[in-house]
Amino acid sequence: MPCSRRRFIAIAAALASTPVFIEEARADAPMVSESDPTAQALGYKANASQVDKAKYAKYQAGQSCSTCQLWQGKAGAASGPCPMFGGKQVSSGGWCSAYVKKA
Ligand code: SF4
């Protein structure tokens, strides 16, 4: 019995610390490159004004990562994590075709 209690405590401690580890990894995550295959597939541009408007007709002036529902950066930050890129950092002024206006 003591062994299984210790094991339970060890597992609980490991699970409790996991989200902290993920948050730390995100803070250090690299910036997404426009040449990244996912970035190219989604038409990501670090500067939204450079979006291929012919190809991505849904883009509207004024849209950017910082106003996207998927943006996980802090308000006013120059970059922040995006789940579309596995938590890598995107530019607050960027845009990709997965853009969803923040509610
Ligand atoms: Fe930016 Fe949203 Fe595209 Fe992520 S999903 S890169 S936050 S526009």
Fold of 5-19+29-91: High-Potential Iron-Sulfur Protein; Chain A (4.10.490)
The predicted-structure confidence for 43-99, as pLDDT tens digits, reads as follows 999 999 999 999 999 999 999 999 999 999 999 999 999 999 999 999 999 999 999
Q: Is 5 helix (H, G, I), strand (E, B) or coil?
A: helix
Contact between 23 and 67 (Cβ < 8 Å): no
Q: Ligand 1 centroid to 8 CA: how many Å?
A: 39
Give the Å distance between the CA of 68 and the centre of ligand 1.
Answer: 6
What local confidence, expressed as pLDDT, does residue 83 receive?
Answer: 96
User: How far apart are the C-alpha atoms of 85 and 39, rounded to whole Å?
Assistant: 8
CA 62 from centre of chain: 19
Hey, where are the domains in the chain?
A: 5-19+29-91
Q: Is 59 in the pocket of ligand 1 (CB under 6 A)?
A: no
Q: What is the pTM of this model?
A: 0.76
Q: What is the average pLDDT across 26-52?
A: 93
Dihedral-angle region of residue 76 (phi above 0 means left; psi in -120 to 50 means alpha; beta otherwise): left
Which is more confident, 4 or 22?
Answer: 4
